[in-house]
Amino acid sequence: MLALRSIHSVRSVRSICPFVEKKVIQSQDRNYATLKEIQLRLKSVNSIAKITKSMKMIASTKMTRAQKAMEVARFFGTTQTDLFNNANTKPTEDGKTLIITVSSDRGLCGGIHSSVAKYSRKLVAEKPNSQIVVLGDKAKGQLARTVRDNIQLSFNQIGKAVPTYAEACAVADTILKEKVDFDQAIIVYNYFRSVISYEAETIPVYSETTFSKSDNFDAYEIEDDVLENLQQFAFSNSIYWGLVEGHASEMASKRSAMENATKNAGEMIDKLTLTYNRGRQAVITNELIDIITGASAI
């Protein structure tokens, strides 16, 4: 008699609230679908974490090589800058200015390309008639939005590995052959301060005429044929310095970016794992409640 009453009570509940059972079934189906989605997301995030970790290791290796080349280039570059400083070389007020923006073709390295592009736009705002030569597609895309008419030449496929002096000479030779006249060239590059710090800086280079008009030029006693070679060497050396410094800064920034990406992926994996475990436990608990409820009703 008691069993009949319990069965009758269960039937009465189902007849009064049929939507309750349907809602429970839908919620269970939804949990199963959500768990499957979380599992797929976990798999994809784990794959991304492995990739970013590998890219961080590669960037660390490249950064070590780039730093060694940067130290050599910085030594010759500062020596050359001291030459112009000791000669008290100054650009003329109405002289032609050439801006050489040093970047690369690759991304995934933070705002390293935006810094040189922003600094170049600032120089163009001060001297609207300046000409621009861009090294790298990333900075070219940013500068083309605002100062497209000022861009005279652009180069790409430079500095895939550590930049070489031969590449800098090829760039300088192309600029001179294209007859891009200038009295002063300003090379905008990212100065490597530390593994986590870089800053947009400039390297000044002057033409033969500007350098020969320096206040202390007579103290060097440079002949005319030697002066032309000196100017070409100074131009190539400055471009090489900017390329190597920029490459080292890029590798350091890429290493930091990949390290942050790996850290964020790890945090996301922990959160998704916790959510998956909670959802799985909730589904198991609901199934046990249904089994116990059914057994009690019977």
pLDDT digits (tens, 9 = 90+) for 63-105: 888 888 888 888 888 888 888 888 888 887 778 889 999 988 8
State residue 190 phi and psi, 5-degree precision. -95, 115
Is the Cβ–Cβ distance between 158 and 243 less than 8 Å?
yes
Is 285 a domain residue?
A: no
Average of per-residue pLDDT across 259-285: 87
Is 115 a domain residue?
A: yes
Q: Which domain holds residue 98?
A: 60-256
Is 36 a domain residue?
A: no
Is 140 a domain residue?
A: yes
Total of domains in the chain: 1
CATH number at residue 209: 3.40.1380.10
State residue 112 phi and psi, 5-degree precision. -70, -35
State residue 135 phi and psi, 5-degree precision. -105, 105
Q: What amino acid occupies position 158? A: I
132-186 pLDDT, tens digit each: 999 988 888 888 888 888 888 889 887 677 888 888 899 999 998 888 888 888 9
Average of per-residue pLDDT across 234-251: 89
Mean pLDDT, rounded, of the chain: 80
**CA-closest candidate to residue 187, choices 252, 241, 124:** 241
* pLDDT at position 188 over 90: yes
Q: How far apart are CA 200 and CA 215, in angstroms?
A: 29
